[in-house]
Chain A
Amino acid sequence: MHLSEGLLRPEILIGGAVVSAAFTLYAFKTLKDDEIPKTAVLSALFFLASFIHVPIGPTSVHLVLGGIVGAMLGFRAFIAIFVALLLQGVLFGFGGLTTLGINLFNLATPTLVGYWLFMLPTTKRWQKDLLWFLVGFVPLALSAFLLSLTLALNGDAFVDASKLALLAHLPIMFIEGFITLFALRFIEKVSPHLLHVKEHYVTHRAA
């Protein structure tokens, strides 16, 4: 999921950096102090998730957990993922500083869809469970798609790699769907107030 340095064309790197910088600055500017602890915890979760590798065929993919981050943070996911990606790049060489912008765009933008899914109203338990599964599944699918698109846009030589990137993440999409479902159910049971994201943002907007 982390695109390495020296691989992408400058226009892709610059485009990704500009868009991600704008989103992240906006997220920092509008961040409220009482949202910071939760953002920190989810940044740490995202940081650690990438160390859980799953070998698939000739390649290996890792957990992302962007769905949970997006569901619980909304637009603040850009801050959490930015910090985590920066540290992954600096400390471990996952991705890099020049690719930070495009990696952030590919990973953080889909989490907003996770947030949107999480906000959808449900009346029955099975509907909620299905949505929470999709909160994990869909953002990762979109991230894998954006990753593939980035590789394909980079040139014909990367088209095969882009197809492999999409296919390799298919099992992880299901794994993350179930992890997200069970994690959200667990949070709902032990600390349901943490899931009241909607009320929280509505209150802030009104204030």
Chain B
Amino acid sequence: MLRIGLLSLLVFTSVWAHKINLFAYDEAGLLYVQSYFTKSSPCKQCVVKLLDANQKELLAFKTDDEGKASAKLPSAEFDIIVEAGMGHQAQTHYVAQSHTKEETKTLPSDMPLDKMLLGLVIIVFFFGVLYWIKRKPSHT
């Protein structure tokens, strides 16, 4: 009975040793992540992924040897996944406190009209030059 009890304790400890704890907070537009198995065993060089609502990857980076990492907030709301390999991972949904509207405004637009207009001007210019080159021999 004692043997079974000790064995169970060992297995149980082993299970907990593989459980990844994930702790995150944000301040001034920066996300801080800390991940660990136990207090004395940080999740070293683990891959941290930030995913949007469609599970599309927004950002990926690694923790340092203390299990810590930081990155610029990519959006106001996302999922954080920490992967420790061998199928071990922790996941949490995160709502940022310091993601300001100004930051959202600076995110690149899908349709930057100025560049689209520039593209059209270049097309007109390019084919204009081509027309001039192609017409030249017929005038001489």
Contact = CB atoms under 8 A, between A and B. Distances in A.
B123 A43 contact: yes
Contacts, number: 48
Nearest to A92: B115
Contact of B135 (A33, A48, A84): A33
Interface string B104-115: 000000111001
B127 A33 contact: no
Interface in A20-61: 31-33, 36-37, 39-40, 43-44, 47-48, 51, 53, 58
Contact of B119 (A32, A47, A53): A47
B130 A87 contact: no
A87 B122 contact: yes
B120 A36 contact: no
- Majority SS at the chain B contact face: helix
Contacts of B54: 58
A31 to B, nearest CB: 7
B116 interface: yes
B115 A36 contact: no
Nearest to B138: A33
A195 B112 CA distance: 33
Chain B CB count within 10 A is highest, among A39, A40, A58, for: A40
Nearest to B118: A91
Nearest to B56: A58
A141 B127 CA distance: 29
A77 to B, nearest CB: 14
B134 A44 contact: no
Nearest to B110: A53
A8 interface: no
Given A51-B116, A58-B55, A36 B131 contact: yes
Contacts of B123: 40, 43-44, 47, 83-84, 87
Nearest to B120: A44
Contacts of B55: 58
B124 interface: yes
A43 B127 contact: yes
A31 B131 CA distance: 10
Which one of B54, B111, B127 has the greatest number of beta carbons of chain A within 10 Å? B127
Contacts of B111: 51
B122 A36 contact: no
A177 B131 CA distance: 32
Interface in A51-95: 51, 53, 58, 83-84, 87-88, 91-92
A181 B40 CA distance: 67
Contacts of A53: 110
14 contacts: A33-B131, A33-B134, A33-B138, A36-B130, A37-B127, A40-B127, A44-B123, A47-B119, A51-B111, A51-B116, A58-B54, A84-B123, A87-B119, A87-B122
Q: Which 8 A-B pairs have the closest CB atoms?
A: A40-B127, A33-B134, A87-B119, A36-B131, A91-B115, A33-B135, A44-B123, A43-B123
Given A31-B130, A58-B56, A83-B126, 9 more contacts: A36-B127, A36-B131, A39-B127, A40-B126, A47-B119, A51-B116, A53-B110, A58-B55, A91-B115
